[in-house]
Amino acid sequence: MIKKMRLMSSSFLMALTLAAPLSSYAMDTNEMKQHSSSWKAAYGITTPKDERVYNRFLNGKVIFTGVPDKTIEKELSKLFNPLDGRLDLSECAGVDQYVSISTGYPKWAKQDHPNNLDIWIAPKFMIKKDLEMLASHFQPIMDDWDEEKAPIGIFWTTGDWSDLNIYRYLTTYSLEEISSTSLYDLFEKGRSTTDHWIGHGNEEGFSIQF
């Protein structure tokens, strides 16, 4: 019996030993994929200017200061896919029940968190690439989006709406201007595509730094 337990313990330890390198390998492989030319091209990164914006985007982070004596930082580069992922806000004093923050843009109207205000952070190059298909609902705002000044846009939707054409957007702020104020204030500076009301969703305490 003792011998059997020893064998089981040895097998368990061996499994743990093997699992750690495999997990690290998966993360390393994903990081390599994000830097490959084919992966970048799939997201619209095709010019040196796009590359500079992408690198600035990777250095971005969402900061939450709504917890006393604590600052929580969520780095965009830590997402499995930095251009299409949702930040884990579970540490942010229950705000995740009302707000979600994602990179990329909404591709379908019904989200899996219908009561939330959804906040999206997206470079123009990825929306421009998909403009004829998945991102066609952004066509009305593209002509006024000055990519030189504002290479990254912020968008607000709600998870219970069934129309992708309804959203609030801010595509006029430079990265420095975005970094100098709160998400709450950025919401106030944004515009809506329709008269439908999109209200605040307890996003006080959040800011984005690039």
Token look-up 């709160």 returns: 182
Amino acid 5: pLDDT: 43
Rg (CA), the chain: 20
Number of residues in the chain: 210
Structure confidence by residue, pLDDT tens digits, 123-169:
999 999 999 999 999 999 999 999 999 999 999 998 777 789 999 99
pTM greater than 0.85? no
Q: What is the mean pLDDT of residues 55-82?
A: 95
- Both structure tokens of 107: 């591709």
What's the confidence (pLDDT) of residue 161?
Answer: 72
pLDDT tier, 3 (very low <50, low <70, confident <90, very high otherwise): very low
CA 68, 70, 76, 80 dihedral sign is negative
State both tokens at 170: 């801010």
**Alpha carbon distances (Å) from 197 to 42, 166, 175:** 34, 9, 26
Tokens of 129: 């690439």
Q: Are 74 and 85 in contact (CB under 8 A)?
A: no
